[in-house]
Amino acid sequence: MRRVIPLTMLLSAAVCWATIVQVPNDVATIQAGIDSAVDGDTILVHPGTYTERIDFGGRDIVVASLYCLTPDTELVNTTIIDGDSSGVVVTFANGETAAAKLIGFTIRNGYSDDPPRGGGGVLHRRRPDHL
């Protein structure tokens, strides 16, 4: 029994190191939140339209709207990542694992100049289970 308690405390401490970064409260953009994150962190995005393209950059993080806290589909409809027709809106292409997640967003106005290979919404290499 003595060994179980220290192990439990160690595992709990590891979980406590994860950070929640709120957009726009802590940082102005989703990408700024991603750039400040390390594996295991969560980027929590409040309703609004975010005109930007995001790249997970190899980080195993969760980027989520408030939908992840309150499963109200209106939060999905009002938390928008708008690519401004300037390219792929969301990119998972740098070795992210299944731990990297995008949850509860409307993605719009993406662009791809190579439609046979994919659209402009989400680009993922290897695994489509990030969404």
Residue-wise pLDDT tens digits, 25-50? 999 999 999 999 999 999 999 999 99
DSSP string, 30-85: HHHHHHH--TT-EEEE-SEEEE--EE-TT---EEEEGGGTS--HHHHHTEEEE-TT
3-class secondary structure, 25: coil
pTM of full prediction above 0.85? no
Q: How confident is the model at residue 131 (pLDDT cuts 50, 70, 90)?
A: low
**Distance of alpha carbon 27 from alpha carbon 21, whole angstroms:** 7
Please tell me which residue, 131 or 35, carries the higher pLDDT value. Answer: 35
Query: Mapping DSSP to helix (H, G, I), strand (E, B) and coil, where does residue 65 land?
Result: strand
pLDDT tens, 11-30?
A: 344 445 789 999 999 999 99
Q: Residue 125: its pLDDT value, please?
A: 63
Listing DSSP states for 9-21 in one string gives HHHHHHHHT--EE
